[in-house]
């Protein structure tokens, strides 16, 4: 071969090599990036080319698929009681992608997951249409309905957990939205999406998992746990040596009580009537670092709590001053918690000190209903001993029997609870948040722990309280779970 031909051959060989490298780079190295690129409509088109698998509650589908006349998208997602279940399912939209379970388990629901490779292969031989698998949740339809209807037109959230397993039984957030309203690709869907995006009440915000609030007096159970665990209190009936007024350390500012009889009150009495001074002093006695340690055992400052939807991190400040720690010990100052976090605190106490990891997917199943992944209960931590957990149960049950939580009482059932009315806004000028945390207990232990927050309401400021607004909602959710146990 002469020299010019050899050069041409080498050049052509280099071009072929470059093409092979580029092709492999696109197909393997950048495959995931290109598949999920927002401008790659082929992914969306393929996602709706066949019926999507369903999200299941109590053995029934709360999602579905309907055939469309669209040239690109063969099927569209539908929802049963969409607004009630939106905080659980999320949405799957032809135009606006997907979120929450719909997004996290998209591979199973579309049938594209590697876990369904065998099913796809068999369908090639049998001629069956491609189908997605199903996501079976831990949710209770009755508990979810009680939570959603209890919140009604109020802005807020409810989380209910099985303390013994960590299974999430209810996850409600209001105001909510209907994922069906923008599941398609039409002008009507676009209009619905834009309206939700502009809504000042943020109906697409999952308040149960993604919003943090000052927990107010519900946080006092964490402070009580720290006082018992770290030896600041060894007798819940003994006087606490708390003056009236109690001056915040390093300041001249008195801690204001909204209850009477707080001077030198015992821990049991202080929780029953919700004495700010006693718990502020206990937080200082325990120390900031020990309070941080206890809060973190319950899940605070953890940014990786996945249900599988990731929850926002609840916060207990690691660097605040002594007076800040005293205020944080009553659930104010920089302390912030999601409703999920306060349900976890309650569940750990109800479960004799063992905190189970919260989760809301029980299992993933193939199109032929074979289980391909089973999620089992997993212990997350042990914030307090069985003895101290049972002392806290005694005190929380006292709150319901003769204290501020009376509206959560259920005939024939042991109920423990704690109210909270959390101040917020500049100079505490805004309507307070109404909180209630509780658990119900039968002969077999506690089947449910609940956290309720009402973010605002039409009630007058002076009428807003955890015991008045939030406790009846918690009671309805607990009753729904207990009825299912029978």
List, in order, residues 6 or more apart from 429 with CB less than 8 Å away.
none
CA 319 and chain centroid, separation: 26
Helix (H) or strand (E) holding 193, with range, is: helix 187-198
Tokens coding 303: 């940014």
**Distance separating alpha carbons of residues 133 and 366, to the nearest angstrom:** 4
CB 207 within 8 A of CB 173: yes
CA 160, 162, 167, 169 dihedral sign is negative
Residue with tokens 């009680």: 146
User: What is the C-alpha to C-alpha distance for residues 121 and 112, in angstroms, rounded to an integer?
Assistant: 11
Please report the DSSP string for 70-81 in residue order.
Answer: -SS-SEEEEESS
Nearest partner of 233 among 395, 374, 353, 91, judged by Cα? 395
Query: Which residues are part of the catalytic machinery?
Result: 217
Which of 54, 64, 95 lies closest to 196 in space, CA to CA? 95
- The answer to whether the bond into 141 is cis (omega within 30° of 0) is no
Residue 110's nearest CA partner among 364, 296, 363 is 364
The residues, ordered by sequence, that sit 6+ positions from 160 with a Cβ below 8 Å of its Cβ are 140, 143, 147, 168, 169, 170, 171, 343, 448, 449, 450, 477, 478, 481
Spell out the alpha helix ranges (H) of 26-184. Answer: 31-35, 41-47, 82-89, 100-104, 106-110, 117-126, 141-151
Q: What is the length of the chain?
A: 486
CA neighbor of 385 nearest in space, from 418, 358, 417, 348: 348
């Amino acid at each position: 071969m002469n020299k010019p031909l050899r050069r041409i051959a080498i050049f052509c060989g280099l071009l072929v090599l470059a093409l092979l490298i580029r092709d492999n780079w696109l197909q393997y190295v950048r495959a995931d990036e290109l598949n999920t690129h927002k401008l790659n409509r082929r992914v969306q088109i393929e996602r709706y080319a066949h019926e999507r698998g369903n999200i299941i509650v109590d053995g029934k589908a709360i999602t579905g698929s309907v055939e469309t006349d669209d040239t690109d998208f063969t099927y569209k997602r539908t929802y049963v009681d969409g607004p009630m279940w939106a905080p659980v399912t999320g949405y799957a939209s032809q135009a606006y992608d997907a979120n929450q379970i719909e997004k996290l388990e998209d591979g199973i629901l579309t049938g594209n997951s590697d876990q369904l490779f065998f099913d796809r292969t068999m369908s090639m031989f049998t001629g069956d249409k491609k189908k997605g698998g199903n996501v079976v949740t831990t949710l209770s339809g009755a508990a979810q309905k009680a939570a959603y209807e209890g919140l009604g037109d109020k802005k807020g959230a409810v989380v209910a957990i099985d303390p013994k397993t960590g299974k999430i039984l209810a996850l409600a957030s209001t105001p909510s939205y209907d994922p069906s309203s923008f599941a398609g690709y039409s002008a009507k869907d676009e209009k619905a999406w834009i309206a939700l995006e502009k809504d000042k009440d943020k109906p697409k915000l999952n308040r149960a998992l993604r919003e943090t609030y000052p927990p107010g007096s519900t946080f006092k159970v964490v402070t009580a746990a720290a006082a018992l665990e770290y030896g600041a209190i060894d007798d819940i009936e003994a006087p606490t040596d708390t003056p009236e007024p109690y001056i915040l350390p390093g300041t001249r500012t008195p801690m204001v009580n909204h209850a009477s009889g707080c001077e030198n009150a015992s821990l049991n009495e202080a929780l029953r009537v919700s004495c700010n001074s006693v718990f502020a002093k206990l937080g200082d006695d325990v120390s900031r670092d020990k309070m941080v340690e206890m809060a973190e055992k319950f899940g605070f400052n953890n940014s990786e709590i996945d249900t599988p939807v990731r929850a926002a991190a609840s916060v207990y400040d690691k660097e605040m001053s002594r007076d800040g720690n005293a205020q944080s010990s009553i659930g104010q100052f920089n302390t912030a918690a999601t409703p999920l976090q306060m349900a976890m605190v309650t569940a750990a106490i109800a479960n004799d000190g063992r905190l189970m990891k919260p989760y809301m997917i029980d299992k993933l199943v193939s199109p032929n209903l074979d289980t391909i992944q089973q999620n089992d209960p997993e212990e997350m931590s042990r914030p307090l001993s069985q003895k101290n957990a049972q002392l806290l149960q005694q005190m929380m049950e006292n709150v319901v029997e003769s204290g501020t939580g009376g509206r959560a009482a259920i005939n024939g059932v042991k109920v423990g609870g704690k109210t909270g009315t959390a101040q917020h806004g500049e100079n505490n000028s805004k309507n307070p948040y109404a909180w209630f945390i509780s658990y119900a207990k039968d002969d077999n232990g506690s089947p449910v722990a609940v956290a309720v927050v009402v973010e605002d309401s039409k009630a007058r400021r002076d009428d807003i309280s955890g015991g008045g607004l939030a406790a009846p909602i918690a009671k309805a959710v607990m009753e729904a779970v207990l009825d299912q146990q029978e």
